Homo-oligomer: A and B are copies of this chain.
Amino acid sequence: MTRKSQDANGSTIRDVAARAGVSASTVSRVLGGDYPVSTATRTRVLRAVRELDYVADARAKAVAGVGTPTLAFVLEDITGPSFALMAHGVEREATRLGHLCLVCSTEGDVQRELDFIETMRAQRTAAVILVGGTADTPEYRERTRRIADSLASAGSRLVLCGRPPLGPGAPVTVIEYDNEGGAYALVAHVLAQGHQRILFLGGKPHHATAQGRERGYLAAHRARGLDPDPELLLHGDFTRDSGHRLMRLALSRKLEFTAVVAATDMVAAGALTALHEAGLDVPGDVSLAGYDDIPFARDLYPALTTVHVPYEELGRLAVRTALGRTAESPDEHLLLGTHVVVRDSIAAVTS
């Protein structure tokens, strides 16, 4: 409670100065670099620093304008493999560019997301990266645009990663990947194997990512002059359990299909297990495909045919474009390509 010094807290620059017999400015200068300081003084200061195990308070430096820049990363749940991949990309690139990396899971709670972004604005982070699909409603656009403006006026930057864009004029960087195109290619591939009735295990009806993939599924059919049976279109979410549940549902309903396309690999994993549990052979009895190409896809049995999404690259790109933006460069909107990777879970129909 006295003037302070040996508290549980680290020592201050003044403590170091006192011990070295110089002023605080001098300590700052020998630590800071470029200003000329005599060798004798420098030595004394450095010794004091070592003896006190001193490290300058990064928050104070930040206030003074020379802090470590930081960037924030907010997602629904780091536990999902594709999220983890993106997180990895973000984190790598961030530290490569000398930035710290704050992370927050929203657990899908919009309010938490809002609160967190406000906190990040207070932290003066260089950028806030929002990742993961969501419903593309007018309300979403308006809310997100407000966030973007607010962040921009604080000198920060909003990045949407795999999220619906906001339309022109919003100070936002958008990095997307092609959901519709990927699904189109994948379903076209399945159709080309002779399958006619393809069960689609989709996500939430309003979820933008889910919609994109569903559109691809439909478009691929139409391109062949086919009109898929609406019964074959099931909706759930992007989890393993959803896939498992939906697959059992389809089986119990005795729907007719020779192939299953799942909206994500996680969904496919759940579906695959359900098929196995029902004693069905994949791809002998039923073919199966996923979407995302998470690392585990190749260790499923049979190895899963799926659509590769460059998630890690997505993350890297997000921070690179967000940080690399020059003062008034135009707002960027990137659309990354996807491609189907053929493995063993799809067979040609024999008949």
Contact = CB atoms under 8 A, between A and B. Distances in A.
A198 interface: no
Given A84-B84, A153-B10, A299-B240, A102 B104 contact: no
Nearest to A73: B103
A222 to B, nearest CB: 33
Contacts of A112: 95
B60 A119 contact: no
A58 interface: yes
Contact of A272 (B55, B91, B95, B299): B299
A78 B87 contact: yes
Interface string A91-103: 1100100001111
Contacts of A103: 87, 91, 101-103
Contacts of A55: 118, 121-122, 154
Interface residues of A, number: 57
Given A60-B63, A154-B55, A84 B92 contact: no
A154 B88 contact: no
A60 B60 CA distance: 7
A301 interface: yes
Copies in the complex: 2
Contacts of A95: 104-105, 112
Nearest to A146: B53
Nearest to A276: B301
Contacts of A78: 78, 84, 87-88, 91
A124 interface: yes
B296 A272 contact: no
A135 interface: no
A324 interface: no
A21 interface: no
A107 B105 CA distance: 22
**Residue of A8, A77, A123 contacting most chain B CB atoms (<10 Å):** A123
Given A84-B78, A95-B104, A105-B92, A299 B269 contact: yes
A20 interface: no
25 contacts: A8-B155, A9-B124, A10-B154, A53-B153, A55-B154, A56-B122, A58-B123, A59-B124, A68-B119, A78-B87, A78-B88, A81-B81, A84-B84, A91-B104, A92-B105, A95-B105, A100-B104, A103-B103, A269-B299, A270-B299, A272-B299, A272-B301, A273-B298, A273-B299, A299-B300
